[in-house]
Structure 1
Amino acid sequence: MAVLDRTSAAPNDRLTGRARLVLAVLLVAQFTLAVDFSILNVALPAIGRGLGFRIGQLQWVATAFALAAAGFTLLFGRLADLVGRRRLFLIGLALLGAASLLGGFAVNPAMLLTARVAQGLATAAVTPAGLALLTSAFPEGPLRERALGLNGALMSAGFTTGAVLGGVLTDLLSWRWAFLLNVPVVLAVLLIAPRVLTESRGAREGLDLPGAVTVTAGLLALVAGLTTPALRLPGLLAGAVLLVACYLIERRAAGPLVPVRILHRPTVVWGNLIGLLAFATETSLVFLLTLYLQRVLGFAPLAAGLCFAVLGLGTVVGGVTAARVIGRLGATRALVLGGAVQALATAALTALGEGRGWLGLLLAATFVGGVGNMVVIVGFMVTATSGLPAADQGTATGLATMTQQIGITMGTPVMSAIATTGLGASAGSATVLHGVATAITANAALVVVGILVAGVALRRR
């Protein structure tokens, strides 16, 4: 069932006025969620001082959000199919608003971490429901590719905007506004969305409880292993065992959480792998370049954050042009082209030196890399959700959203480990630069792996 039947009938592949309003509502919600993922990074020291976090506890401000967002995304994607995508979208937004109020008025670490968990759960509900509403509203072809391009551009721009906005709000007002800013945005969307979004559902089979428990527990263990050094080995092992158990359960379930027929589609499997690499490489590159700007060039956190506005601009340009590239070349060739652009731009960053004169190279390469990365992300979304019936769109977008959250979550710890191995608090700029360059090389190599997957595994599509 389409969210908006008039959208499908738009003449000459042009958006109607009402379709633009539907798209705007969904994009604002997704942009807000993307901002929430990174807006507190710069504010962590101020939060620690204000609420009495011990230094070792601060990582949980980010980890609590990531655990909930990645661990419950697939479950909520399936629930969206069962109870209604618009309904879950609105419930998730209401939860986001309540969680943001709680975080903004938190008086101790427990309140703040509770708010972050609730924000992560809201993200796990709203993101797949919103994507399913979008893919259901726009038929396969130019309209959907354009909508996914704008969605991907704003989500990536939101991630980089969060880093900038967090510094500005913390310096000029208070870290509390990083939470409170969500409230008026959520209220506006909640007022408009029921008027323009039509309910959409998928398959009516009951919820597969064993599959839901094992996949959620497996994803929680996997993310915990990726983000918590003390849990790395047991978390990754437990996650792998639980996810294998989930697959075996789904093969026999009458109403599976993830139908095995979806997992057997090459476009779904390989498309999600490419998406995982795309999100892991570009978001972790932000961390590596933050380390370079602050520890090598001596930039203040706010100035370092502002440098990423260029990356945000590149992602917007990439999102706007991705639909044309895919329309002209096809999704697979667009993935290869976008990945090649991203890999070359990332590799260029290995030439960065210790002087501030290298800032020009950094800005140019991040802009170009952002364009290429966004073409890959839109190509991944098109590939991973195409050729599926409307009943499976919630599950497919849930898988794609889970891929996105795990990629964002896993990239930074992996690249951080490569860049900071052997570095102490007093390491000189030359030592830090060497570690960053090594990690950037590994980052570019992962992008090349994505190119090879797209060129070989999807060549028959």
Structure 2
Amino acid sequence: MTTRQTPPLQHLATPIQPERMTGRQRLTMILLLTASFTLAVDFSILNVALPAIGADVGFSLEHLQWIATSFALCAAGFTLFFGRIADLFGRKRLFIAGMALLGFGSLLGGLATEPGLLLLARVAQGLATAAVTPAALSLLTTSFPEGRLRDTALGLNGSLMAAGFTTGAILGGLLTDLLSWRWAFLINVPVALFVLVLAPRFLSESSNPNRAKLDVPGALTVTAALLLLVFGLTSAGEKGWADQFAWGPLAAGLMLFAVFLIIEKNTAQALIPVGILRRNNIAWGNAAGILAFATETSLVFVLTVYLQQVLGYTPLGAGLSFAVLGIGTVVGGIVAPKLIGRVGPKTTIVSGLSVQAAATGSLLFITADPASVMLVLAATFIGGVANLAAIVGFMVTATTGLPDSEQGLATGLATMSQQIGITLGIPVMSAVMAAFLHPGAIGQPAGVLDAVVPAIGVNAALCLGTAVVVSIFLRSRPAGS
């Protein structure tokens, strides 16, 4: 009996690849990275501006979080669905349609004067993110063959996306303070127009030549499952894990995932062929990706609380403090492809997460002394470099060994892992902080510090634990038959 081999992560028999990108490849990469960076900025650009938005548009305090939640629900819930749509009906088409929707949603948000229109704008931006992110990533992977050029492109993509989260926090504060929160929306409009003008000319269409029917039951089930999981995780961060709006949707989401797997096993044209999930690099690569995104984004949240409530920084000051993290992610994106070329993606992931764990662990020594900010800056820079190396290693691992016809599926899975990690991390860290924050210490710097430090410890432990698990279970060579 013959078993299917896991595709190799080290390309021992691939043809010699060109050393330099062509002019068309450079233009393609610029367009796709511009779109990816813009979408990454959108994840965080409104966080600092939420109070101002609520006051202007009429959101009550308890409903303010829906400005962020409505975006996250759609961005995470529909990404796998759109990734498969891209495979079947054309990645270029979906990319252009998604950028048009981003421009429309951003214009609507910038002009909104009442809550309903603002939420509609955020839903449009979330759907655009779910469509454009896997389409752009699959266009990137199909534009560059496996090897050094693809690793370089994925490294730049990863560094710009990670830097986008940090840039969003800084840019949101600057725009709100100097102009208006509306510019946090409107800034996307000229970027969308720029991409829409050039994309039809410079991007090549890419899709599955043997177009199959879309697995509608599977698509609806997994989308509903993801929506419920994101809603439950968001509710857990807002109201605690014991709240019915946290555990109820989480339980329902897990049940729907079980139903989804049953559907996929019995569907000829499955949305996710079950066999692909059995591939070692797909399964463990995406697991590493979820934890890599969860730990770094949630650490930013924990340190934002520390900087503002312990050291007394303003929101803008806290955002600017993370500029070194943004620089670190750019450095990590540049270094990662070279590291992957020398030691392979598995060692890059393990090394990156291990160094990230050490950098995060050093933050256990922060105090209420203002001088502790120097430790924060050093640790976030080193952690940013290491985290991005792990993320690029994950992207290379999770998209390797698949034909171009399945790159939309692979990048959809990778994007879904990214979105789940971003959404999962903050509620988990919020729950840890809440467990150690005594009611009488709320608002007191010493009490907040007592809650921040355990969350940092859990974060470092998750990094180290993931590194150990990946080193044991992720294979670098094809499995035997």
Question: Is residue 70 from structure 1 mapped to residue 76 from structure 2 by the alignment?
Answer: yes
SS in 1 for 2:145: coil
CA offset at residue 12 of structure 1? Answer: 4.0
Matched residues in 2 for 1:23 and 1:9: separation? 22
Question: Is residue 398 from structure 1 mapped to residue 412 from structure 2 by the alignment?
Answer: yes
Cα shift readout 1:283-312 (whole Å, capped 9, x = no counterpart): 011110100100000011111100011000
Question: Is residue 457 from structure 1 mapped to residue 473 from structure 2 by the alignment?
Answer: yes
Gaps of 5+ in 2: 1-13, 237-242
Cα shift readout 1:139-181 (whole Å, capped 9, x = no counterpart): 1111111000000000000011000000000000000000000
The aligned counterpart of 1:186 is: 192
Residue of 221, 224, 232 corresponding to 1:225: 232
CA offset at residue 420 of structure 1? Answer: 3.0
Give the residue type in structure 1 aligned to 2:49.
A
The aligned counterpart of 1:259 is: 273
CA offset at residue 13 of structure 1? Answer: 2.1
Matched residues in 1 for 2:373 and 2:232: separation? 35
Aligned partners of 1:420 and 1:432 also within 8 Å: no
Residue of 123, 126, 134 corresponding to 1:120: 126
The aligned counterpart of 2:422 is: 408
Could you state the TM-score of these two structures normalised by the residue count of structure 2? 0.93
Matched residues in 2 for 1:450 and 1:311: separation? 21
CA offset at residue 416 of structure 1? Answer: 1.3
The aligned counterpart of 1:5 is: none
The aligned counterpart of 2:338 is: 324
CA offset at residue 282 of structure 1? Answer: 0.3
Matched residues in 1 for 2:318 and 2:92: separation? 38
Residue of 443, 448, 451 corresponding to 1:435: 451
Using the TM superposition, name which of 229-238 and 281-290 deviates more. 229-238
Matched residues in 1 for 2:270 and 2:250: separation? 24
SS in 2 for 1:401: helix
CA offset at residue 81 of structure 1? Answer: 0.7
Equivalences for 1:1-400 in 2 at 5 Å? 12-202=18-208, 203-229=210-236, 230=243, 231-400=245-414
Give the residue type in structure 2 aligned to 1:223.
V
CA offset at residue 15 of structure 1? Answer: 1.2
Matched residues in 1 for 2:17 and 2:265: separation? 42
Question: Is residue 447 from structure 1 mapped to residue 472 from structure 2 by the alignment?
Answer: no
Could you state the TM-score of these two structures normalised by the residue count of structure 1? 0.97
The number of equivalent residue pairs is 454
CA offset at residue 66 of structure 1? Answer: 0.5
Matched residues in 2 for 1:340 and 1:264: separation? 26
Distance of aligned partners of 1:263 and 1:186 in 2 relative to their CA distance in 1, 3 Å threshold:
same
CA offset at residue 10 of structure 1? Answer: 9.7
CA offset at residue 459 of structure 1? Answer: 3.8
CA offset at residue 423 of structure 1? Answer: 4.8
Matched residues in 2 for 1:459 and 1:246: separation? 27
Matched residues in 1 for 2:75 and 2:423: separation? 10
Matched residues in 2 for 1:363 and 1:77: separation? 37
Gaps of 5+ in 1: 1-7
Matched residues in 2 for 1:23 and 1:423: separation? 50
Residue of 411, 420, 440 corresponding to 2:434: 420
CA offset at residue 453 of structure 1? Answer: 2.1
Matched residues in 2 for 1:55 and 1:214: separation? 33
CA offset at residue 104 of structure 1? Answer: 0.3
Aligned partners of 1:32 and 1:182 also within 8 Å: yes
Cα RMSD between the aligned structures?
1.4
Cα shift readout 1:414-439 (whole Å, capped 9, x = no counterpart): 10121133355843111111111100
Aligned partners of 2:17 and 2:147 also within 8 Å: no
Aligned partners of 1:258 and 1:395 also within 8 Å: yes
Cα shift readout 1:76-102 (whole Å, capped 9, x = no counterpart): 000001110000000000000000001
